[in-house]
Every structure is written in structure tokens, then in C-alpha cells.
Structure 1
Amino acid sequence: MKFLRAVPLLLLVAACSGGGSSGSGGNQAKDPVVEDYPIAFVRRQLSIDEDGILLQDDIYEPYEFFAGAELILKDRATASATETIITADIFDGEYDVKDLNTSADGTRLIFAMRAPEIEDADDDEQPTWNIWLYDTDTATLSRVIESDLTAEEGQDIAPAFLPDGRIVFSSSRQRRSRALLLDDNKPQFSALIDSQQDPAFVLHVMEADGSDITQISFNQSHDLNPTVLSDGRVLFNRWDNAGGVDKLSLYTVNPDGSDLAIYYGYHSQNTGTEETQAIFNRPQEMPDGRLLVTLRSPSGITFGGDLATIDGIIYSEAYSEPEQSGELVGQASLTVGEVSTNDTISAHGTFASAWPFYDGTSRLLVTWSECRIVEAETEQLRTCPETLAEDEEVQLADPLYGLWIYDYIAGTQLPIVVAEEGEMISDGVILEPRTEPAYISDPVPGVDVDADLVQESVGILDIRSVYDFGGEDVAGIEVLADPAQTSADLRPARFLRVAKAVGIPDDDILDFDRSAFGRNRSEGMREILGYTPIQPDGSVRVKIPADMPLAISVVDADGKRIFDRHYNWLQLRAGEVRSCNGCHTSDSEVPHGRTDMQVVPAWAGAPTSAAPFVNTEPALLAEMGETMAQLLARLVGEADLEGDLSYTDLWTDPAVRGKDVDILLSYSELTTLAPVATTCLADWSSNCRSVIHYEQHIQPIWELSREVLDGTGAVIADNTCTVCHSPVDAAGATRIPDAQLDLSASASTVNDAWFTSYAELLVDSPELELVNGILSPRLVQEYDDNGNPVFEVDEEGNPVLDINGDPVPVMITVNIASAMTDSAIESAFFTLFQNGGAHQGYLQDAELRLIAEWLDIGAQYYNDPFAAPVD
């Protein structure tokens, strides 16, 4: 491993004895005000595996248990102050403590603690992480959730006090999500993260006595490290990992779970050393409104990184220009020396945690480790060198994190607690009074909540125009909205599709064959909740089920997605009205969702009140600024999602021209099995779902008899897909399937859990030829990049010769590109069924709609793990 050149070490750490200090800024005088406040910290043993290797600290694994920690209280922030182990005698054995936080009045300490391992017990029988509270006034320690049964329902970590005394925390219990599983006739379980490794931690709120536990965030990966901002919102780390995007950004949400929004850094993931990935870990608001974070790699052996501030009030991304170009404006390092964030030599050491003072100074309580290496020859420890030769490799020593008061302006450090070899101080907080954050009530003041929506457990999504991309009109909204200028068939966006993520259970609940995900496991499984028409101006207003991770797609008249898939989940709480200006591409860096940074919308809506939109029905009188969807909601009520793609022209003024042709693409038109319950075919409700499985819903389309009869009933043609697209003809003879596409239901050679047709449609496959009556991959000679033929060589590089003494050519297969991708509009398959296509009229419109939506949600083999074969 090659390390960066070291910079001069600015803070040389001397042995600590009491109140001494050292550093580039000179001595720091004692501050009696600071010393009056208690501090708390976690001292823990470094975790070493059986080979003597230090275990990595992985932010993405918040459930990890590292035995051998203790929580300590000092009554003053000085090295000489007495230490009290406040978690002593709680457990018999080695336990773990983390995630310290304090109340605004400085009298209470809240944290996560886990009891010792139970020897020989299964994982599901081990203790869980629980939230604990220490009251300094009464010197009492108690678990917040008193009931053992309730406490053990999930892993609870990272607590913070809300202004009304409640507690927000991250937990795997997923209380609301588990309850909703009962509506789907599934057992209750905590769903796994997008990568299907461990249960997802999401945000919950509970009363101070541990009652009334309420889930407020709905994500398919972790929501971590909640902290309460001065304005009352909850700021936290959200891991967006749908489709394998792997971003850990800062989000905000109200304490009731409404108004979820990206706050900072979604497109600024690589602000670490040499532009490597760096996580904005453990965010904490400073007195001046900036955020204090430890900027570090997601996992590593140093356990820490740089100290950085984020100016999230002004900036939502780190750089002044998109794609991490321009100047670094959104964040800045706080340290007086250079700090590495990627486990390389960091001359100024590394920081594992930081807590601001609220006394108007530039001081922080930090856990800091000097940079040390192990001498290769002597195996002795020494301070990292200031310079390294280009090819020199060194071994970093284990970190040695102590507790310090760090003044980032004066450039000084005051030692408070010195760690010993093999241990570290991992958290430190000051029990100092600070201003209580603003209180945000449930519901949010000034926001009218419709009781009927709450009772129905739905929210409302209100989009001004899907043609508004970051404040830019990308399609000519005013022209599209005018029926005299644009007919419906010329409007690209016709419907909004809403889908939800499907919770995946662990193996103890259901051990199903993971081939059920299909060719792209990162998309997970999804259910379609329904569709709603997009109005001529691109506006949408529709009721959507609350309390679940949602994804929306803009689709055309055939039900094909026309914009990129987004990889962060949307959520609405019951009664919430979520408004946005428009859409955005997945790489757009406009701060979507942040109401304080909204750009001017591209569509102003109705130009005046008491008048219709231009050339529309005279009776549809708009109010100034209203969108077409908002007008309809006001006049006829809020729209529900529908199972069909159904459109009727409500807008065109008959005096201007004739009404547009209706659209109806309905599952009821399918001859094969529909992917919905029978009751939903007749009456779509908020509990209805479209759940598409390849074997049950797509394969039957290929096998459905499509004979064409003449007037006498005689068969004049057979357009059944498998008649031509199979490896055997009507006489039973082996043949090459038409277009080299086998749509049969035999077991695939790619994965025997799939039908051959699935792999043939979605995976590039070798071109076949018939050799002596056997289908075999066609082989051709390989050529190098210069166009020269490639021949086989032996281990010594000499040509391999055949019996005639000629060199043996290297033969390779010729692959045929798959006919489908996980985007219907980009799949060549559909061109065959268009007007003038070779297969025009062979498939029903409803069948093509079903195939398109199946592709757009990810082309999974199954979309319900409980319907998949067991492993």
C-alpha cells in the first residue's frame, strides 16, 4: 500500500499528566467555566481478531457489537477530574456503549448500550442494542424502554432529545412497516437493506418513558445518526442504496416524519483525500448554524478522519459547479493541519468524534489519535515521518484515541483523557446547557391536515409540471397545455406510475432462492400501486398510500418510462401534502425537495382567476397560479391511483376542436393471468397492488395460442410466440429458434432456476448453429485489437500446433445482444410490435403494457419473496 507524502506534524503530543498542553498555538489557559461542566466519554478496547488484526469500523454496519466498552463521567473537563464509570455493575461481562448525546439543559445523558454476548446462543437470541438514560441530578441510570419484551423487539441506537422531551432514534424495529405487512397477508418482520444483508435501521420517535414508539422514516437502507437542528427539524445520515448507488448523505425530516428532504451532499460523496469517498459522519449543529462532522471513509482501520464544517444553510452540495468541479464552497476542514480520510498517513492525526462547546469559543471536545507507524526492522512504534520516498511502504500502528479540547482557531490541544495501548476513547460529549431547539408540533403549525386523508392513511403528491427540470421548461409547457396547439398524442408524458419497495425478510423468516430477484438483484422487488393521468400542463395531484418507500415514474401512452429511474425513496405521512415544482434527472444537482432552496418554477400556472386555461372547457375556471391538476382536485375532489392506464380528455373546448381519443390499457383485457387480485380488477383501492412474476404473468404471454382462423374456422396462421421461438419444430426436430430467441419454459443454462426465455430476453447469449443435429454455439476465430488472428500458445509462449503442424486458432463465441433491458422504451423488443413492425398485431395492447411495466420496475423474476421457491 502506497501512502501520501506526510505533511509536518503540527501538534506534537507529549505525555499527559494533568492540565498541561502542547501545540502550535502555545499554551491554552484553563477556563474555569469549561471546567464546571461535566463531560462523558466511552472508553473501549480495540477489537482484534484471532490473527491479531484490528477489526475495521464500518459505518454501514451499525448493529456491530464490540465487547469491552464503558461509559465514564468526569465532573469537570480536566485531566485531573475524578472519573466515575456510570455503567459499572450493570452487566456481568463485557458490554458495548456508543452514540452519546445530551439534553439541551445539560442534565441528562442518553446513549445506546448492548448487554454482553450470551455464550452458545443463536444470533436471534442475543441481546439487542437499547437506549439508556443517565440523569446527573439524581445520578440514576435507567433503560428508556422498561419492558424487556418491547426493548428486545429491535436494535435501538443513536438517540437524541426532541424539544418536547421525546426521543428520536434509529432502530431496526420498523414498527409501522411491520404493521403494514399484515395488510399484505405477510408475517411481521424487519426488512433487509437494499443489498439484502441486514435489517434496515430507520428513524423512530418515542416518549421519554419509552412508550408510543412511532416510525417516522421509511427507507430500504439505513437512516442513522439523528440530531435535532435549532429550527426543530431532525437531521440525519441517509444511506441511499437502491440500484447499488451507495450514497450516504444528509437529510432532514420533521419529527412527525413529514417533509423528508435531501439537505446536503447527495452529489458530493468524493470529498475525501484524493477525491475518495468520504462520509459526513456524526453530524452536530454548531452554535453558528454550521454542521460539525467527522469526514471519513465508510470503513477503515483508523476509525476516524478529518474534522469538517458544512454550511448547509447556503449550500446543498460541496462544490460550486456540478460533478464536483469548481471551488469547494459547501464545506471546509476545521483542523490546523492536513488530515487524511482514507487510512493513509495523516500527519496531523485523525479524529473519531467531535462535540462543540456552546460558550462562544472555537473549542471542540474531540477524540484524537496521533499518527504512528510500526518500524519494519524493529517493530517499534514511532511518530509518522514528515516525508516518504515515492516507493516506500509503511505499516500504520493501531490508533490511540484520547480525549482532547481542540481549539481550531488558536491551534492548540489540551489533553483530558489519555488512552492506553489497545484501547481508545470513541465518544465524548459535554453536559453543557445550550439553547433548546424550536418545537415543531405534530402536525406542523400552519399546515391544514385533512382528517379524511389521515383516516384513509394516504398523503397527496402535488407536482406543478413534470416538464419542469430544475426550473427549466424542457418541453414548452404553455404550448402543451393549449389543446388548440397540442393534441394529447403529441404530449410525451401521459401517466405517473407509483411503485413501492417490497420488504425482504431474512433467512430465519423465509429462506427463498435469491435467483428470484432476476438478473439485477440491486433493484430489489417492487409492487406497482397504480397510475394517474398527467394533465396537459404536466401537472399531477394524486393520493398516495402513506408510510412506505415509494418510487415514481413518468410514462408515455403505452406505459413506458420516459425519464431516468431515480435511486432515492420518497415517503409521505398520512395527511401530508407533498408539493414539488417538477422532475429531475438522477444526476441533477439542483436541491430538489429543500423548500428553502426551491428554484423559481418553470410553470406559473393559470395567469388569472375566474377564467379557463387557454382553449379549454369554459366551465373549468381556474384560480391564478393554479395548475390543471390542482383545479381538478378543487372542483371534483382529490384523485385516487388507478390500476388501469385510463385517460379521458377533460380539457379540450369542443368549440376549438374535437376531443382527444380515450386511452384504456386494462389488466381486465388480458387473456392470461392478471398480476392483481380479482377484486382489484373491478374496484382499485389504496390496498391494491400489481405484483408481477415472470413465470406466472410474462411466460404465459409467449405460450398463449394465437391461431388465425379463416371464415370456416380453419387455421391459416399461428402467431403463438413459442411456435417459432423454440428449439424444436412441430415435427419434433431440433432447429435454430427464429431470431436466435428461445422463448420456451425449459430450465435455462444460465441459471436453472429461470426459464430459458427469461435469460434469452435479458442476458446476452451466444449465437447458435446446428451441428450434426445438435444446437451448439457458433465459434469464430479471435482477432486482437490490431486485426491479427490469435492462436493458442503453451506455458512457455510457444505456438500450439495441430496434427498438420499448423497453429491452433483461438475460437470464441459470437454473442447476440439481449432483446430487452430494464427500460421498456430502450428495449428493441417493442419495435417489432409497432405499426409496420414484423409482429404488428401479434400481442394485445394490455400484454405490451404488462411487459413494459415489468421491465421498468427492474425485470425481476419474482416481486414477492413469499411467492418465490424456497432455497
Structure 2
Amino acid sequence: MPICCNQEGPAVKSLFTLSPFTMVNALFVNWVSFVMISGWVRPIWKRQHIFQTRVLPLPCWSLISGVAVFVITVGQLRAAPPSVDNLPCPIVLTQVAVEGSGDLIATPYPGTLVGVNRPCRLVLLQPGREPEILLPSFFATAEADVFFDGKKLLLAGKPEANAPWNIYELDLETRTLRQITREARDCRSPSYQSTQYILDAPLPWFQITLFRVLSEEASALTGTAVSSLFSCRMDGSHFRRLTVSHAPDLPGTLLPDGRIVFASFRSSYPHDPQVRLDLLAVNTDGTDPANFLPGIGARYKLMPTVIPHGLLGKLVFIESDELTPDGAGQIACVDLRRPLRTYQRLTEDRAWVYHSPCALPDGRLLVSRRPRTGGSSFALGIFDLEARAWTPLFDDPRYHELLAKPVAPRLLPDGRSSGVDDNASCGTLYCLSVYDNDLGDQGFPKGSIKKLRVLQAITDPKTAANRQPRFPFRVLGEIPIYPDGSFQVEVPSDVPLALQLIDEQGINVRTSGWFWVKGGVHQGCIGCHEDPERVPFNRMADALWEDRPRIEPSASLTVPDFVHDVWPIIQRSCLNCHTPPRTRPWLAPSADPAHPGPVSASPAFSYAQLVRSADTPSSAEAADAAPVYVVPGAARLSSLVWHVMSKNLAKPWDGEWPSRPYKPWPNDPEVQPLSQKDVQIMIEWIDTGALYDRQHPFAIQ
């Protein structure tokens, strides 16, 4: 049965968009009324001698009358049901209730409304008509997207207060509502994909992208649950996870070539341990994730949208150097033709911040704006990219106007095919040459990289929260690198992975960002951080001549830990010097400050002294911070390794780390240097995550 939408809505229009005739007429009527009332009240006031007050002069009465008339007039105008007659086209937006002065929307997933527990609703604005509340019988509706013909809406909705969020499609012509998702709970931020096809399907089909928070996965990077993008067909079938990370991924937009650009929480630990939001691109089946704007723009980039214009189209997004509670920031853009060379900031507004841009058919932007410090709600306006000016369009002070979309036809992006096998437990990862990189002459010479180490991030909430150090992972396995720098390996699908390059000394010289591989596909890269605008030479890589090794999904390489492997070395070679009151760091506690001297040493105490400072962003970021003895995952940056090898092992691409001082091993015949085997154990222990106890890897120590 069709669900009809209410034609009435209390949303109001900005006072400054009312016609002059309406303003003058209301002022005149109220002024006449007030003159008549004051003419009757003033004589009575004169006769009330019991107040023993002087009668107010006529100018004071005029001033009081004027103020009262203005207040009454504004109140009447603000309460009047508005008609929206200056819209460029119909617009659908989400209204979120304001809960007081200075109100800000706070969410752990910026740019979304997830976790915002307050009334929200979808409102349709049409030229010359009153605002229309869509689906008024629903407890909550939000986050609409418009189909390519402009006749249907995707939306997230809750029919009742205790119902989960699901995705629905509303036909704007017939007002029929159809539910898409059912069994998958709490689906948000839907958007249409273009056509999808496979070789054995008779016809292509449309799909949608949606956003979900996964309470069963925890992110040690953000301290929140992991969130990901998913897809399904228009009937809710073929539900598939698209992005697989160790940290939250946020909703994105569809590019003209059919890919999805989305925001993802990342970190370049230990070089830059601060959390950031990068823009990544991925195919609509979840394959080939890639950084879309590496190292460009502000620290936090989110809420991307496309202004399609052929090869001259732009990607517009919100960015900021400090993440706001709602994700609002300044507007920036890049050209889709050369995004790495065309970045520009469109606003530098100290008084205002912007939220959820979306392109209009004429190339301007619908975008919401609020004061930087709060104090009033988000208002909807139009941003002109050429004039770089924002013009107010619609504002109801009782609501935040967000996530506006034009209800108009738009170009259909390119369709996509897929070879993903959702039942496959592995996918193939290959690389043409690890020596193709962005390091130039400072990079590692050919033949110096001997092994590839494969890591998997840990997102189990029962383990990730209790694991030391800060970024928990496990080692899945290692494979050899071929002389030409190529490799090929089968890795587990749909898990967050990272790679380490191991040199002839057994040291990790470079670590990749986190990515994933879909089941049954071959996913490759040219090199390691190679020039993304260059095409490689056509050559046959050595790794392709032989059968590829396979790392099983259940695999876990046995790696050194502190309790069983490193602690015996420290007892044997370090405690003689590193106990109170001798050389710091003290690897054993003092019995009493007044009577210095070691008490019984314990591995837990020593581990805390070595690893604790490396787990804080400030100490790993600043050269003058507290000593960093162990940087989990990077032995080349750990002063413990520098000490036992009497050498700073940081590489030229490690920022300021090569300039940090180190303390060499004592030149004392009584202090025997560590054996090469012991040194290798320490290096491998640090590079594989500085695990405390592999038998109890997730216990709090």
C-alpha cells in the first residue's frame, strides 16, 4: 500500500528571504494596532497615582512601541508557514533537531549522523511550495540520495523507536515505499551505484552502497568500533562488504568512472602517529583500494562529492587540520583529471565552517554552514566556486539542515564488472618491483630487499583493547623477494593487511599502509609508493614464472616475544648495567629511594620501561621527547637496536629520525657485545610488533 507524505511542515524560511511587501505590510498592521492600544492605555496609566511615578514622555512611548512592533512582527513572520520560491531545483535534506544554544552535533564518525540520538527527518523543498516532511509516520528518516533520473530516493529510516535503521527506496511520483535491507542491522548513508555486470549474467543491474558500524570489530587507532562500506542489489540480495580496514571508513561518493571515493582513518605510525582522515578510492566490488590524495591538503579530508564536467570535473571535499565534533571544516577541491597536481582550498573562513557539499546541475554547490564556534544551527546555502561566495538558501533555527541533495537528473557513471568470489578465502597479491618507489636516489638499491612479511591487523574487541602495543597485529608469514623486486602470494581475503620489506640485515626498511584483498581476484601494484601518474614498462616479472606461495587464513608465524626470547638476553647482558642507581633506563625496580639498589627483576617491569614511551604519539613524534627505546613495528627507529648495533639505522625517508642521537655499546672489555643471533632476535621481536608473551598475547601487562 502506498505511503503518502504529509504536505505540511513547520520548517521555516530565513527572515531575509521574505518579500519587501510582506515585511512592510506586517509592520504597518502591527504599528496601527499598537498605536490604538497605546492611546487607550496611556490615559489609564496617568490616573494610576498610587504608583507615584512620573508619566513617561511621548518619545519613550514611541521607542517602546517601535521595539514591541518589531518583536511581534518578527515573531509573526517566523511562525508563518513559508513557501520556498527561490530554489534552483527541488531539494531533499535532513533536518536534525537543535537541543539548545551553542548546540553542536557530535559523532564518532564525522560527516555522518551515526550516534546522534536526537530527532531527525527528511524534508523536501520545492519551488513555490511549503516544505514537505517525507514519511511523517516514521520515527526517524535521514541521509537521502537521488536516483540518476531524479524520480526516486534512497533513504535510511527507523519506522519505530526500537527498530533498527534500514535502507528504503521512495518513488517520488507514486509515493510508494520499498524496503531494501532487512537482516543487516543499522544500515546508514545509502547511495546509488551505477550498473554492474558479470559475463554469465544476461543483463546488468543497479546496486547501492551503504555504511555500517561493526560492533564486533574494534579499532585501536580511534578507540571506536570499526565501520565499513557495504553494497547490495536493489532487492537487498548479494550483501557484500566493500572496505576492510582496522579503523573506521566513512561514506563517500561515486566518481564518473564508477569508482567510490571515501574517507578512511589512517596513521603513518611511527613517523606521524597522529590519526588522520585520507581519501581513498575503491571499485564498486571492493577491489583495488588505493590512496586518492596521498599527502595532499589538510590532515582531515572527508565528505567528498563530484562536480561532473567530463575531463574537467572536480572532486570537492571538506577538510580541516583539527577534527570538529561534526566533521565540519573548509571547502577544497581537485581536478579529476590530475588530482595530485590541482589541489586548491576554496574557503579560508575564520568565522564559518561547512558541511556535506553536493553539486547542483549548474555546477554550484549545495552546502551547509554554521559558525565556527557554534551558537546557531547549520543553514543551507549555495556556494559559487568562481565567486567563492556562499549565499543563504534555507534555514530553520530549530533544526540543523544537512546532507542536502538536488532532486534532478544527473549523468550515469560508468558501469563496472566484477570477478570477486565471495566464497573464496584467499586472493592473489602481486607486485612488479618493490624498487619502483618514490624515494629516488635515497631509496634502497636493487638486490637489497630479501623478504616480504605479511601482517594482519587485530580488530577483535576482546583482544585489540588489551593488546600492547598501540597498533595490534599478527604476522601471517614471509615469502622471498625475487631478484627483479617482484613477488606474488596468495593471502587471506577480507582482512586488513600490511606489508614489510626486509633487507639483508633482517630489518624492516619500509611498511605499507593497511589494505585488503577480495576473494578470488588478482590484485597488483606497480611498486611500493611508486609515482601514481606513471605507467610501468611492459615486462615479465620473475615472480610470474613460478607457482605462487600461499599463506593460509589461519596462518600465524611464530615470532619472538619478550618473555621467552628477549628477557633472557636482557638478564644475561643488560641488567648488570641497567639497574638502580646505574645507567638508565632501569630495567629493574629500586627497593627504596633512600637505599638505591635493584630488587628482584621481572620481565613485566622491564618491558614497560622499554615500550611505554614509544606508545604515545608525542614521544614518537618529537625529537626532544622522552627516550624512545622500542618502536613496535620499526626496529630501525628503535634506540635499543641502535645501542646494541652502535649505529643509527633510520633511513633517509624517515624524516628527522636519522638526526637523532644514540648511545653506542660500551667500549669496555668487561661488557661483552651481543651475539649476532641475539641482535637478530631483538630486531625481529620489534619489527613483528614487540609482543610481550605469545602464549598469552592479549593479557594486560
Between 1:216-225 and 1:849-858, the stretch displaced more is 849-858
TM-score, normalisation: structure 1: 0.57
- Tell whether 2:582 aligns with 1:759: no
Letter aligned with residue 418 of structure 1: D
Residues 553, 869 of structure 1: alpha-carbon distance in 2 compared, 3 angstrom cutoff: closer
Provide the rounded CA distance (Å) in 1 between the counterparts of 2:391 and 2:222.
45
Shift of 1:848: 5.2
Shift of 1:436: 1.3
**Structure 2 runs not aligned, ≥5 long:** 1-13, 23-83, 196-204, 592-597, 615-625, 648-664
- Tell whether 2:527 aligns with 1:576: no
Deviations 1:276-315 (A, max 9, x none): x553424234344212334456644797444443213212
Q: Determine helix, strand or coil for the equivalent of 2:500.
A: strand
Residues 332, 841 of structure 1: alpha-carbon distance in 2 compared, 3 angstrom cutoff: closer
Provide the rounded CA distance (Å) in 2 between the counterparts of 1:753 and 1:116.
56
Shift of 1:553: 0.9
**Matched pairs, number:** 569
Q: 1:284 aligns with which of 279, 291, 306?
A: 306
Q: What pairs with 1:645-724 in structure 2 (closer than 5 Å)?
A: 685-690=552-557, 697-701=561-565, 722=571
Q: What pairs with 1:793-808 in structure 2 (closer than 5 Å)?
A: none
Q: Determine helix, strand or coil for the equivalent of 2:427.
A: strand
Q: Determine helix, strand or coil for the equivalent of 2:18.
A: coil
Q: What pairs with 1:391-402 in structure 2 (closer than 5 Å)?
A: 398-402=375-379
Aligned to 2:71: none
Aligned to 1:493: 449
Shift of 1:161: 3.4
**Structure 1 runs not aligned, ≥5 long:** 1-12, 22-30, 119-126, 174-188, 271-276, 318-328, 372-394, 444-448, 481-490, 585-589, 605-623, 642-684, 705-719, 729-733, 766-814
Residues 499, 819 of structure 1: alpha-carbon distance in 2 compared, 3 angstrom cutoff: closer
Letter aligned with residue 279 of structure 1: K
Provide the rounded CA distance (Å) in 1 between the counterparts of 2:531 and 2:135.
44
Letter aligned with residue 423 of structure 1: Y
Residues 102, 287 of structure 1: alpha-carbon distance in 2 compared, 3 angstrom cutoff: farther
Provide the rounded CA distance (Å) in 1 between the counterparts of 2:517 and 2:19.
54
Q: 1:54 aligns with which of 87, 93, 103?
A: 103
Letter aligned with residue 828 of structure 1: W
Q: Determine helix, strand or coil for the equivalent of 1:701.
A: helix
- Tell whether 2:132 aligns with 1:268: no
Shift of 1:539: 2.2
- Tell whether 2:114 aligns with 1:67: no
Q: Determine helix, strand or coil for the equivalent of 1:398.
A: coil
TM-score, normalisation: structure 2: 0.70
Deviations 1:807-827 (A, max 9, x none): xxxxxxxx9984887532451
Provide the rounded CA distance (Å) in 2 between the counterparts of 1:533 and 1:301.
46
Q: 1:144 aligns with which of 163, 174, 180?
A: 180
Shift of 1:432: 0.9
- Tell whether 2:218 aligns with 1:171: no
Aligned to 1:247: 276
Aligned to 2:264: 238
Residues 726, 362 of structure 1: alpha-carbon distance in 2 compared, 3 angstrom cutoff: closer
Aligned to 1:110: 154
Provide the rounded CA distance (Å) in 1 between the counterparts of 2:21 and 2:302.
32
Deviations 1:741-796 (A, max 9, x none): 6479x9xx99x99712313444689xxxxxxxxxxxxxxxxxxxxxxxxxxxxxxx
Provide the rounded CA distance (Å) in 1 between the counterparts of 2:459 and 2:679.
27
Aligned to 1:354: 357
Q: 1:434 aligns with which of 404, 410, 419?
A: 410
For the 8 Å contact 2:330–2:348, the answer to whether it is kept is yes
Q: What pairs with 1:501-540 in structure 2 (closer than 5 Å)?
A: 501-505=457-461, 510=462, 516-518=467-469, 521=470, 524-540=471-487
- Tell whether 2:645 aligns with 1:831: yes
Provide the rounded CA distance (Å) in 1 between the counterparts of 2:411 and 2:692.
54
Shift of 1:501: 0.5
Q: Determine helix, strand or coil for the equivalent of 2:504.
A: coil
Q: What pairs with 1:174-253 in structure 2 (closer than 5 Å)?
A: 190-195=216-221, 197-241=223-267, 243=269, 244-253=273-282
Aligned to 1:457: 425
Q: Determine helix, strand or coil for the equivalent of 2:685.
A: helix
Deviations 1:448-494 (A, max 9, x none): x8x8xx876323332222222238466696xx5xxxxxxxxxx4211
For the 8 Å contact 1:362–1:409, the answer to whether it is kept is no
Letter aligned with residue 507 of structure 2: K
Aligned to 2:130: 82
Provide the rounded CA distance (Å) in 2 between the counterparts of 1:240 and 1:513.
17
Shift of 1:158: 4.4
Higher helix share goes to which structure?
Answer: 2
Q: 2:351 aligns with which of 330, 336, 345?
A: 345
Deviations 1:713-740 (A, max 9, x none): xxxxxxx763565589xxxxx9978997
The Cα RMSD (Å) is 4.4
Q: Determine helix, strand or coil for the equivalent of 1:247.
A: strand
For the 8 Å contact 2:573–2:672, the answer to whether it is kept is no
Provide the rounded CA distance (Å) in 2 between the counterparts of 1:111 and 1:455.
30
Q: Give the % identical residues.
A: 20
Residues 492, 227 of structure 1: alpha-carbon distance in 2 compared, 3 angstrom cutoff: same
Letter aligned with residue 103 of structure 2: L
Provide the rounded CA distance (Å) in 1 between the counterparts of 2:586 and 2:329.
53
Aligned to 1:559: 506
Residues 166, 497 of structure 1: alpha-carbon distance in 2 compared, 3 angstrom cutoff: same
For the 8 Å contact 1:501–1:525, the answer to whether it is kept is yes
Shift of 1:868: 2.7
